[in-house]
Structure 1
Amino acid sequence: MTSFPFCCGFGQKLDEEDFKEEQNSVARLIHVLYNDEPEEMLKIICTVRKHIMAGGPKRLTFTVPPLAFSALKLVRRLQGQDGDMAGEEVPATPKKIFKLLNEIIEALSSVPSPELALRLYLQCAEAANDYELEPIAYEFFTQAFVLYEEEVADSKAQVTAIHLIIGTLQKMTVFGVENRDTLTHKATGYSAKLLKKPDQCRAVYACSHLFWVDDQDGIKDGERVLLCLKRSLRIANAAQQQANVTRGSSGPVTLFVEILNKYLYFFEKGNPQITSSAIQSLIELIKTEMQSDTTTPDKASDAFFSSTLRYVQFQKQKGGLMGEKYGPIKV
């Protein structure tokens, strides 16, 4: 009987498709598993974990995420409950589940799948935040940063990862001053080190939101917001000059208009460091750049800037406190 080699191109493709379909079926099965009793549900998760860890690294990218989200659902169910029941063989406590989650996600490092693991660590940090478990939330963020530093090498993946980190950190309420400062410092530092200048600029001005959070009274540091915006403006200027060298003409002024919109946002939020004169200066800078002979015409940038100016004019005409704030700005 003649046998065909497994490595045959056509056969290998079919085998790979079958493998993915099988693993997707396993993932769907994990999502279906459920028990009303938290302790029993935790036993199920632990049992499933033993089986999927024995399946080899190739299967982990399919099976770890549904198991992690199943554990996260259990954590959410425990909110408002005691959870630590005496006499139970496997008490379903949030701390125990978070420890299990850390071990489950860590297994992805053998695949490797750093971007996926990073996303899961951030999901866990959010859940720990809801329980006000600061050390655990900080540990999950630390793990996410370690992955970013050591494993995420692709420039596009880095951009996505840093914005996920910034967005998640912005929602965190559990951190004290020291831990939050450490994490925000890391986030802003890595934002400024992205490969491309436009990506640097957008990540840095996104970091400004880490220093001014509406629903957190203690996080309103206007000076550090302004520092982020000024830093992003310097990067945007460097990107413009870089475009001038590489293409012989300056690129679109989109980055400047994006920064202007951030200025307007914090201006309306009452940041005393963002003044009408600073906004006026930025508007004049953009107009000068757009009128420059070296600037490449760009309809999207022109429309964006015109729309922003119309918004400023609208605010001026509204009257009241907001109208007074916008009054000195000339468009």
Structure 2
Amino acid sequence: MAGGSQRLPFTVPPLVFSALRLVRKLQGQDGNVVGEEPATPKKIFQLLNETIEALSSVSSPELALRLYLQCAEAANDCDLESVAYEFFTRAFILYEEEVADSKTQVTALHLIIGALQRMHVFGVENRDTLTHKATGHSAKLLKKPDQCRAVYACSHLFWVDDQDGIKDGERVLLCLKRALRIANAAQQIASATRGCSGPVTLFVEILNKYLYFFEKGNPQITSAAIQGLIELITNEMQSDSTTPDPVSDAFLASTIRYIQFQKQKGGVMGEKFGPIKV
């Protein structure tokens, strides 16, 4: 730990992962004697907390944030809710106080959202606190497209597709509607600054999220909502003010082909997609 700013970014990560390997070995055991005291996952996590903190003090906040999230996932596997929550809290503090570059903020936030999505250890209160922070920071990113993508990524925090997963269809829909409003604002800004609207890629990305949750059985995502979104995108693309974009065109065409494929599938899924006209 005396390596200073030159060495710590290289020596701390392998130390952290070695400690996490030890945590996995000790999982489910009462503790192995190392020296005079038994080694337990809780004690190792406490040591890791102090170790990673040294990284954030030598101008490596992004690396420290990634390591905090790795530790949070390991604590999740050990069913240590308070420890996992502490690591997430530290990750958010680093994000808020040390991560200043807008591109780095986008990457860091998506890492936080992804890690949070995989957590099963949190009770309702702790999970709500962390998801609220994630959605709040998503809407404050510098650029509208980044805001939009982070907000629709947050929709996955409210619909975890496993046996005991969270399925809050209403909050999923709120995230997607918010993302749509941001995408619309991005179009208006593009129109005001360049005299023509930007590409409709954001709308197609949101459409794909609607389709994902529609397939997963979210009752709040209806075929009528998907139909309305397809018509909105088609109108935008046919508008004279919209900048032609081959990538957006190909993306939409691929999405439409997927809907047609699902319609022709037959069975429950074919019936589900039947009312959508493309």
Query: TM-score with structure 1 length normalisation?
Result: 0.82
**Does 2:43 match 1:93?**
no
Deviations 1:251-284 (A, max 9, x none): 1100000000000000000000000000000000
Which residue does 1:77 correspond to in 2?
25
Rounded to whole Å, the distance in 2 between the matches of 1:216 and 1:119 is 28
Structure 1, gaps ≥5 residues long: 1-52
Which residue does 2:130 correspond to in 1?
183
**Does 2:275 match 1:323?**
no
Rounded to whole Å, the distance in 2 between the matches of 1:90 and 1:163 is 39
Rounded to whole Å, the distance in 2 between the matches of 1:125 and 1:298 is 41
Which residue does 1:116 correspond to in 2?
63
Rounded to whole Å, the distance in 2 between the matches of 1:252 and 1:230 is 19
Task: Report the RMSD for the aligned CA atoms in angstroms.
Answer: 1.2
* 1:200 match: secondary structure: helix
Determine which of 168, 174, 177 is the counterpart of 1:230.
Answer: 177
**After the TM superposition, which residues 149-164 of structure 1 pair with which residues of structure 2 at under 5 Å, given as runs?**
149-164=96-111
Rounded to whole Å, the distance in 2 between the matches of 1:98 and 1:268 is 39
Rounded to whole Å, the distance in 2 between the matches of 1:144 and 1:236 is 28
Which residue does 1:54 correspond to in 2?
2
Q: After TM superposition, give the deviation of residue 112 of structure 1 in Å.
A: 1.4
Is this contact kept in 1: 2:169–2:219, CA < 8 A? yes
Q: After TM superposition, give the deviation of residue 216 of structure 1 in Å.
A: 4.9
* 2:38 match: secondary structure: coil
Rounded to whole Å, the distance in 1 between the matches of 2:210 and 2:21 is 39
Is this contact kept in 2: 1:276–1:328, CA < 8 A? yes
Determine which of 64, 68, 75 is the counterpart of 2:12.
Answer: 64
Identity rate, percent? 84
- AA aligned opposite 1:105: I
Rounded to whole Å, the distance in 2 between the matches of 1:77 and 1:248 is 61
Choose between structure 1 and 2 for higher RCO, CA contacts under 8 A separated by at least 6 residues.
Answer: 2
Determine which of 105, 115, 126 is the counterpart of 1:168.
Answer: 115
Rounded to whole Å, the distance in 2 between the matches of 1:267 and 1:188 is 22
Determine which of 77, 86, 106 is the counterpart of 2:53.
Answer: 106
Rounded to whole Å, the distance in 1 between the matches of 2:154 and 2:4 is 39
Which residue does 1:274 correspond to in 2?
221
Is this contact kept in 2: 1:173–1:216, CA < 8 A? no
Query: TM-score with structure 2 length normalisation?
Result: 0.98
Q: After TM superposition, give the deviation of residue 140 of structure 1 in Å.
A: 0.2
* 1:262 match: secondary structure: helix
**Does 2:209 match 1:262?**
yes
- AA aligned opposite 1:302: D
Q: After TM superposition, give the deviation of residue 192 of structure 1 in Å.
A: 0.6
105-114 vs 300-309, which deviates more?
105-114
Determine which of 244, 260, 268 is the counterpart of 2:191.
Answer: 244
Deviations 1:102-139 (A, max 9, x none): 01000012211110000000000000000100000000
Which residue does 1:47 correspond to in 2?
none
Rounded to whole Å, the distance in 1 between the matches of 2:148 and 2:5 is 37
Is the alpha carbon distance of 1:70 and 1:138 closer, same or farther for their aligned partners in structure 2, counting shifts above 3 Å? same
67-76 vs 172-181, which deviates more?
67-76
Rounded to whole Å, the distance in 2 between the matches of 1:222 and 1:138 is 25
Which residue does 2:74 correspond to in 1?
127
Structure 2, gaps ≥5 residues long: none
Rounded to whole Å, the distance in 2 between the matches of 1:121 and 1:258 is 30
- AA aligned opposite 1:189: G
Q: After TM superposition, give the deviation of residue 92 of structure 1 in Å.
A: 1.5
Rounded to whole Å, the distance in 1 between the matches of 2:3 and 2:228 is 61
The alignment of Structure 1 onto Structure 2 pairs a total of residues equal to 278
Q: After TM superposition, give the deviation of residue 84 of structure 1 in Å.
A: 4.8
Determine which of 241, 262, 265 is the counterpart of 1:294.
Answer: 241
- AA aligned opposite 2:17: F
Larger Rg: 1
Rounded to whole Å, the distance in 2 between the matches of 1:257 and 1:90 is 57
